Structure 1
Amino acid sequence: MRALISVSDKSGVLEFAKTLEDLGVEIISTGGTARLLEENKIKVTGISDVTGFPECLDGRVKTLHPGIHGGILAMRDNPAHMEKLQELNIQPIDIVAVNLYPFKETISKEGVSLEEAVENIDIGGPTMIRAAAKNYKDVAVITDPVDYKTVIDQLKDKGSVDVDVKYDLALKVFQHTANYDAMISAYLKEQAGKETMDETLTVTFEKVQDLRYGENPHQKAAFYKEVGKQSGTLVDAVQLHGKELSYNNINDTNGALEALKEFYGTPTVVAVKHANPCGVGSADSIYEAFIKAYEGDPVSIFGGIVVANGEIDKKTAEKINELFIEVLVAPSYSEEALEVLTRKKNIRILKLEGIEKRYQGYELKKVMGGILLQDTDSVLLGEDLKVVTKRQPTKEEMEDLIFAWKVVKNTKSNGISLAKDKMLIANGPGQVSRIWALQNAIRQGGESLIGSVLASDAFFPFEDSVEAANKAGVTAIIQPGGSIRDEDSIKLCDKYGIAMVFTGMRHFKH
């Protein structure tokens, strides 16, 4: 029996090779792997001794040879194959243990050059493991060090590797090479500034963890991450305390982070329930921002997600601990704050550096039989804000209008957000009718809406929303505009002295 070993990840390889040697397996190896084995007194046959041809082009060409691939691809139960091997003096290779050049690790480094990245694109490795996987009935192929033990145990117990085990190892190869090639493709496109929406779409994600279940207990679920150097996203968070995150925790926390990133440079706290903002506050400190986020809706925040873009201090932690919060995320925590927060066993505390950093990428949504792909909604406003009413909004109203617009942008459509003094007073998310969304928000906000401003994610098709807003005490409205009945809404605003601003841009969120 012969094994070919050539690995960039050397973990476990010495023990693996030594055991193979003890079992009487001849070991073929290359480059750094061969040197490591030889230094540790493990007998190795060099690739050039097998091929009769020297490695060349700085090691780019060494295993791409019939002496290697004939030994891997020959079908043992095909007499013609075995006769040809004998004729060509090629010996079968029964085990291929190869992992690939560290392309992901290379492109993840800061300042890596295109040339360095390209040099870490493996050619011979993928060719060998794909060949071995294709011939899985006769060859055991290992790409992951965790599988060394499985193969060794089989060899010790049975003298060979079961075909079902070899099948699983082969499947792992094709998953691995698909992931590897997708990373290369994505990186080269990014470097060239190429359009992602090509004729075909291949993406790769790596599992972060299995989840207990999905949205409901009868659904299986797992959490995957993109491969790359993005930061400030949930996959980069460090959990400091509490149970592992659930599917719904992750989804809701992501919605909270998307909203929080709108408020760059201003101390802000966002509370979310079922992926919709239920409390948002901006102030001079995180404590004051949390008080605003809480007071905006002290009911819905219970059992919700809270994210902050500044450090949580002891005073804020004590206030948070008066509530039941599922998840708390911040860039940092004082030692005193953590001492307070960890008194509660079930709160999930996450630290996320770069929490304000904008995500640059694409959004994927699975539909039955396909996938939808779009740019992230990274723009807040159109080219020009346009005041369309006789009355101009005051400076304070304009600040609140922009605040409310940031909130409604991250609220499920149809969405209405009502704010005052940089505080979300009431939110009306996810209704099939815009007036229903507004009516729900008005019921929630009550008398506190007097002097508030209103943001709508899309235009008002009818006057009813202006009527309802006026009765609730709203003094200014921001909306995209673009309805054929815009003039009716403008005239009604003029009648009531309400300032109205058009953004020229809508923000549907489904």
Structure 2
Amino acid sequence: MKKRALVSVSNKDGLIPFVNGLVEQGIEILSTGGTKRSLEEAGIPVKNVSDVTAFPEILDGRVKTLHPSIHGGLLARRDKEEHMEQIKELAITPIDYVIVNLYPFAETVAKPDASFEDAIENIDIGGPSMLRSAAKNHADVTVIVDPDDYKTVLASLDQSDEQQRSLRKKLAAKVFRHTAAYDALIASYLTEAVDERHPESLTVTYTHKQALRYGENPHQKAAFYEKSTGSASSIAKAKQLHGKELSYNNINDANAALEVIKEFTEPAAVAIKHMNPCGVGTGETIATAFNRAYEADSKSIFGGIVALNREVDKETAQKMSEIFLEVILAPQFSPEAKEMLMKKKNIRLLEVAVHKGETEDKLTSIHGGLLLQEEDSLGLDDAELSVVTKREPTEEEWTALSLGWKVVKHVKSNAIVLANGEMTVGVGAGQMNRVGSAAIAIEQAGERAKGAVLASDAFFPYGDTVETAAKAGVTAIIQPGGSVRDDESIQKADEYGIAMVFTGLRHFKH
């Protein structure tokens, strides 16, 4: 019996050579709509699906292939005599190849001007149905959803039955991944449209972007996946201009750097080490900002990740080229900066949009489960600020407090940041008690602690952190407040003449 292939694709890449290859093997081609026209224009003989179903396309093409003559041909098991006799009685011919890809739903909803009606019309129904039917019956049917598989399928036509069965099984698995991802995108879109925050089941999908050499450590396998509808201001959307392939740790650190730099509108530079900011600087120029980020902790920045929110110019690149950095990310690099930095063989240069985009839920895997929470998108403008001490902050202290509060949000808890109006001068991260983090930040700051301000991601359980800061020369503090011992901290601040501000916002980062 002559074999049949059903072809219906929105992505025409590589289609004509592939279908020509099938025709050369004596395979009959069925098609419909735009795909049929494309094949006919290429001189390929095509039979209309309507001739097989004896039923026209209806409802503006919404119903074309949803018919027993199609799905009977896909689902009939060749090894079951009763199946073959039944389709013979009904004049249904088996279909041996299905080449289908789906309406571009993700591309449609990604358009800024896409309407809800546009999205709904780009939900494919017949395509997934054919793919699932063919994939279920992969023992007999070869199903292709990805143009990248065309050459492999053509090459398999001369292979053994066992090799072809193995390929059909792999292609079927790919189809079910594809349709699951497609449905997950639609489910996510409609769930957001009805503002369902925590549905009874969570469907998420990501596309493989990059194979990684290993994970956090060489013995851990890893890969990088990209969210199809993610923000443009994302490491997943970054363009790598130069350098070695990004590692698992590079990606994590670069993401942390990008999240910090988004907090600033003035020229700013952020240095990250092990997902914590080790230095943050601002200035009238990006070169000044980077110099201050470097001076904030010239030891820890070695081998670090740096993010900037302005074009990297020649002056900034010159300073950067003098130290060892793993990754530099920025909105742009000037030609002179690129030429200078590209002389360093291994440094990774990433161009990425740096702006506050739409917030998205944060997903954290645990063994056997998943935690979901809203992104911590609140800043100082969202806080209910109250000065709780006798002395109010000066204008200069307010500037420094704002900088410190922006940074401490991105430091691992317990977190303490010391800053002036231009840069961080000390960072204490991840300690088991708050005064321990304060001691680390103060030690790092040294003499620069005198006249600096202190930002804390959560309240002080005792007055000891205030006293430690005061003895180091800190003049103002910003913290959430809310401890049962707040009065103790306030009294200590008044005792040392420190201005203290409560925000009412906590920024734990675990």
TM-score (norm 1): 0.97
Between the two proteins, the alignment pairs up a number of residues equal to 507
1:385-419 CA-to-partner distances (Å, cap 9, x unmatched) read 00000011101101111110111100000000000
SS at match of 1:262: coil
- Alignment of structure 1 residues 267-286 onto 2, 5 Å: 267-286=267-286
CA contact (8 A) 2:403 2:421 kept: no
SS at match of 1:156: coil
Letter in 2 for 1:257: L
What is residue 438 of structure 1 aligned with on the other side? 438
Write the distance in 1 (CA, Å) between the matches of 2:211 and 2:336: 33
1:33-52 CA-to-partner distances (Å, cap 9, x unmatched) read 11222222221111011111
- Alignment of structure 1 residues 126-165 onto 2, 5 Å: 126-158=128-160, 162-165=164-167
1:128-179 CA-to-partner distances (Å, cap 9, x unmatched) read 0100111111111110112122222121334796222111111001100011
Given the alignment of the two structures, is residue 360 of structure 1 paired with residue 359 of structure 2, yes or no? Answer: yes
SS at match of 2:143: strand
Letter in 2 for 1:89: A
Letter in 1 for 2:115: S
Letter in 1 for 2:258: L
What is residue 301 of structure 2 aligned with on the other side? 301
Structure 1: which 5+ residue stretches go unaligned? Answer: none
SS at match of 1:167: helix
What is residue 380 of structure 1 aligned with on the other side? 379
SS at match of 2:93: coil
What is residue 121 of structure 1 aligned with on the other side? 123
- Alignment of structure 1 residues 57-456 onto 2, 5 Å: 57-158=59-160, 162-190=164-192, 192-228=193-229, 230-263=231-264, 265-353=265-353, 355-381=354-380, 382-456=382-456
Letter in 2 for 1:439: A
CA contact (8 A) 2:270 2:280 kept: yes
Q: RMSD across aligned C-alpha pairs, in angstroms?
A: 1.3
Q: Structure 1 segments of 4 or more deviating over 3 A?
A: 157-161
1:418-467 CA-to-partner distances (Å, cap 9, x unmatched) read 00132100000011111111111111111111001001111000111111
1:335-365 CA-to-partner distances (Å, cap 9, x unmatched) read 1111211111111111113x02334111000
SS at match of 2:263: helix
Given the alignment of the two structures, is residue 490 of structure 1 paired with residue 478 of structure 2, yes or no? Answer: no
Write the distance in 2 (CA, Å) between the matches of 1:229 and 1:493: 44
CA gap 1:336/1:456 in 2 versus in 1, 3 angstroms: same
SS at match of 1:83: helix
Write the distance in 1 (CA, Å) between the matches of 2:4 and 2:67: 17
Write the distance in 1 (CA, Å) between the matches of 2:444 and 2:166: 60
Write the distance in 2 (CA, Å) between the matches of 1:308 and 1:475: 29
What is residue 481 of structure 2 aligned with on the other side? 481
Shift, 1:229, TM fit: 5.6
Letter in 2 for 1:101: Y
SS at match of 2:202: coil
Write the distance in 2 (CA, Å) between the matches of 1:158 and 1:30: 32
CA gap 1:233/1:186 in 2 versus in 1, 3 angstroms: same
Write the distance in 2 (CA, Å) between the matches of 1:401 and 1:364: 30
Write the distance in 1 (CA, Å) between the matches of 2:161 and 2:440: 71
What is residue 37 of structure 2 aligned with on the other side? 35
CA contact (8 A) 2:278 2:300 kept: yes
Letter in 1 for 2:359: Q
CA gap 1:110/1:102 in 2 versus in 1, 3 angstroms: same
SS at match of 1:414: coil
Shift, 1:30, TM fit: 1.0
Deviates more, 1:74-83 or 1:221-230: 221-230
CA contact (8 A) 2:231 2:357 kept: no
SS at match of 1:215: coil
Write the distance in 1 (CA, Å) between the matches of 2:477 and 2:411: 17
What is residue 467 of structure 2 aligned with on the other side? 467
Structure 2: which 5+ residue stretches go unaligned? Answer: none
SS at match of 2:281: strand
Write the distance in 1 (CA, Å) between the matches of 2:31 and 2:331: 47
Write the distance in 1 (CA, Å) between the matches of 2:467 and 2:177: 58
Shift, 1:383, TM fit: 3.8
Shift, 1:285, TM fit: 1.0
Write the distance in 2 (CA, Å) between the matches of 1:431 and 1:438: 9
Shift, 1:222, TM fit: 1.1
Write the distance in 2 (CA, Å) between the matches of 1:102 and 1:160: 34
1:102-144 CA-to-partner distances (Å, cap 9, x unmatched) read 1122222231222222211111000001001111111111101
TM-score (norm 2): 0.97
What is residue 55 of structure 2 aligned with on the other side? 53
SS at match of 1:316: helix
CA contact (8 A) 1:332 1:351 kept: yes
Letter in 1 for 2:453: V
Letter in 2 for 1:140: T
CA gap 1:7/1:77 in 2 versus in 1, 3 angstroms: same
CA gap 1:401/1:260 in 2 versus in 1, 3 angstroms: same
Write the distance in 2 (CA, Å) between the matches of 1:177 and 1:5: 17
Deviates more, 1:428-437 or 1:192-201: 192-201
CA contact (8 A) 1:240 1:350 kept: yes
Letter in 1 for 2:301: I
CA contact (8 A) 1:232 1:359 kept: no
Write the distance in 2 (CA, Å) between the matches of 1:408 and 1:301: 18
Letter in 1 for 2:308: A
Write the distance in 2 (CA, Å) between the matches of 1:489 and 1:40: 80
